[in-house]
């Protein structure tokens, strides 16, 4: 990812040199590894990171679903006020049984796992020397960009004071964060336009997407209750596309797969929880997606699973306030 070379700068690292740019050398301090990075080949001894990437979404799905299922079954009176629908509505309004839902999800996970074995490759060897070589490449790119942006003299002044620190930040924080955020954007874009097209096309809705909408009252286990072809194209291929386009490492892929799965389950959990972190950081939450599952909102709120920018930009956003205003207009006419 960072091995591109640039003419005029040698690929050597010498932490004893006098400046960040010393002639043809890029000089970096001794390697400092941030807290989140494990300098070993596998995060879990004996388990390849690729296996974790394949297993993470499956484990995350059933763990998160089990948590909300326990909330559904508990008799705590305080939790009832956070339910979007009464518990009885799940059996009275939904047109799919629990066994049908679980069977469909298990089948999708089998297909998803097989695709993961086919697609994901063994990650490159992890070592301090490899990290330093990649940081050098980041430093070279930084030098080129700074000199181009503000000129050689001002660039040298800036690089002398901030070059090493900025290289460290870009390599360990800036670039990885940008990659992950971009992958979230890719997932959102892929799912919004495919999801909307399945509602726009009577054929696609009837033969594919209507399966998911048998759940008028969403619940956690049903987050991935889809027609198998829809699940493969919308979820599995979408995740692989994001991983590829964003050029994620295997460990970033573990995060993407697990995070997107947990967020999807949370969006279908049936609870509007003020203390749920997944419902706090974005407007695309369980209540927002529940509107889409109701008759009044079936042509709205296509965004999933992270942000709602496409709904806002393309005019398909529908809020509880909008629904109340519609009802008031109907009463006055």
Q: How far, in Å, CA of 247 to CA of 182, rounded?
A: 10
150-159 mean pLDDT: 90
Note whether 225 and 211 are within 8 A (CB): yes
β-partners of residue 21 are 26
Q: Compute CA 67 distance to the chain's CA centroid, rounded to the nearest angstrom.
A: 21
Q: What is the DSSP string of 269-304?
A: SSB--TT-HHHHS-S-SHHHHHHHHSGGGTTS----
Q: Which residue has the higher pLDDT, 12 or 316?
A: 316
pLDDT mean across residues, the chain? 89
Name the pLDDT band for 154 (thresholds 50, 70, 90).
very high
Name the pLDDT band for 333 (thresholds 50, 70, 90).
low
Instruction: Specify the pLDDT at position 259.
Output: 96
Instruction: Specify the pLDDT at position 123.
Output: 80
With 70 as the cut, is the pLDDT of residue 196 above it? yes
CA atoms within 13 A on the CB side of 135: 29
Q: Which residues contact 187 (CB under 8 A, 6 or more apart)?
A: 238, 239, 242, 256, 260, 305, 306
Q: How many CB atoms lie within 10 A of CB 320?
A: 13
Instruction: Specify the pLDDT at position 109.
Output: 96
Instruction: Specify the pLDDT at position 17.
Output: 64
Instruction: Specify the pLDDT at position 326.
Output: 85
Per-residue pLDDT tens over the stretch 253-310: 999 999 999 999 999 999 999 889 999 888 999 999 999 999 899 999 999 999 999 9
With 60 as the cut, is the pLDDT of residue 11 above it? no
Q: Which of 25-34, 88-97, 121-130 has the lowest mean pLDDT?
A: 88-97
Name the pLDDT band for 75 (thresholds 50, 70, 90).
confident
- Which of 22, 2, 305, 31 minimizes the C-alpha distance to 183? 305
Instruction: Specify the pLDDT at position 27.
Output: 85
Q: Which of 19-33, 34-48, 161-175 has the lowest mean pLDDT?
A: 19-33
Instruction: Specify the pLDDT at position 9.
Output: 41
Q: Which of 7-16, 94-103, 264-273 has the lowest mean pLDDT?
A: 7-16
The two counts, helices (H) then strands (E), for the chain are 15, 2
Note whether 237 and 121 are within 8 A (CB): no
Predicted structure pTM score: 0.89
315-319 mean pLDDT: 95
User: In percent, how much of the chain has pLDDT > 90?
Assistant: 68
- Helical segments of 81-151, H only: 88-93, 98-119, 128-150
Q: How many CB atoms lie within 10 A of CB 202?
A: 8
């Amino acid at each position: 990812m960072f091995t591109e070379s640039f003419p005029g700068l040698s690929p050597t690292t010498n932490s004893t040199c006098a400046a960040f740019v010393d002639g043809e050398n890029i000089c970096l301090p001794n390697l400092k590894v941030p807290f989140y990075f494990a300098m070993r080949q596998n995060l879990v001894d004996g388990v390849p990171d690729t296996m974790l990437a394949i297993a993470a979404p499956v484990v995350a799905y059933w763990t998160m679903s089990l948590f909300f299922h326990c909330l559904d079954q508990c008799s705590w009176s305080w939790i009832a006020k956070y339910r979007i629908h009464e518990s009885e509505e799940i059996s009275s309004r939904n047109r799919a049984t629990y066994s049908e839902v679980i069977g469909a999800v298990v089948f999708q996970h089998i297909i998803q796992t097989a695709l993961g074995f086919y697609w994901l490759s063994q990650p490159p060897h992890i070592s301090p020397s490899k990290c330093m070589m990649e940081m050098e490449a980041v430093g070279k790119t930084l030098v080129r960009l700074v000199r181009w942006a503000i000129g050689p003299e001002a660039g040298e002044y800036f690089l002398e004071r901030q070059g090493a620190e900025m290289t460290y930040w870009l390599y360990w924080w800036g670039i990885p964060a940008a990659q992950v955020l971009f992958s979230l954007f890719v997932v959102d874009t892929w799912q919004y336009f495919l999801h909307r097209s399945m509602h726009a096309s009577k054929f696609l809705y009837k033969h594919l997407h209507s399966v998911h909408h048998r759940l008028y009252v969403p619940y956690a286990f049903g987050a991935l209750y889809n027609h198998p072809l829809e699940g493969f194209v919308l979820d599995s291929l979408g995740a692989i596309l994001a991983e590829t386009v964003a050029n994620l490492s295997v460990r970033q892929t573990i995060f993407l797969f697990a995070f997107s799965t947990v967020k999807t389950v949370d969006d279908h959990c049936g609870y509007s929880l003020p203390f749920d972190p997944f419902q706090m950081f974005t407007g695309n939450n369980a209540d927002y997606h529940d509107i889409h599952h109701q008759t009044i909102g079936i042509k709205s709120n296509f965004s999933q699973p992270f942000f709602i920018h496409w709904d806002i930009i393309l005019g398909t956003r529908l809020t509880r306030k909008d629904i109340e205003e519609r009802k008031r207009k109907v009463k006055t006419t």
